A = this chain, B = another copy of it.
Amino acid sequence: MNDRISPEPPATLAELMRRGNVFAEQCPSREVLKHVTSRWGVLLLVALRDGTQRFSDLRRKVGGISEKMLAQTLQWLEADGFVARIAHPVVPPHVEYSLTPLGEELAQKVEALADWIEFKLPEIMAARASRENGAG
C-alpha cells in the first residue's frame, strides 16, 4: 500500500492500469476526475466558458441545479484550481466566478467530449435501434 513511494513519474491512465493500480483509489486524480465528470461539473465548466458570472447567473443558466449542488460543485472546482471566486464585500453580497487558465484548458476538453457525443448521437442512437431490431 506504499504506492506513494513508487519511483516512476507515472503518466498515463493506461499505464497506471497496466500496473494493476487501476488508477488507484488513493490517487488524487480519481477525486479530480470525479469532480469534473460529476453531474453538474461538466455543465458548470462549460457554462463558465462564457466568462465571469455571478452565483445566481450560473444557477439560472444551468437550470435544474439546486443551490446546494451549485455551491458544492463550485467549491470542488475552486479547490482543484479550475475556478476563481471573487467576493465583493458589499451588501447585498456580490460574488463572481470565472475559469482560471487551468480551468479554461480543462473546460475545453470537457466540452469537446460532450460535443463529440452530441455530434455522434445519430450513430449512437442508430446502434441502439439496430440492437433492438434483432442485431443483438
CA distance A67 to B19 in the complex (A): 21
Q: Mark A99-136, 1 if CB is under 8 A from B, else 0.
A: 01010011001111111111111011111100100001
Nearest CB in chain B: distance from A130 CB, A: 8
Q: Is the CB of B102 within 8 A of A28?
A: no
Q: Is the CB of B118 within 8 A of A80?
A: no
CA distance A20 to B116 in the complex (A): 20
Contact A17 B62, CB 8 Å, known A11-B118, A37-B37: yes
Q: Is the CB of A28 within 8 A of B79?
A: no
Residue of B with least CB distance to A115? B12
Q: Is the CB of A12 within 8 A of B111?
A: yes
Interface presence of A10 (CB below 8 A) = yes
Contact A102 B124, CB 8 Å, known A113-B110, A116-B109: yes
Nearest CB in chain B: distance from A125 CB, A: 6
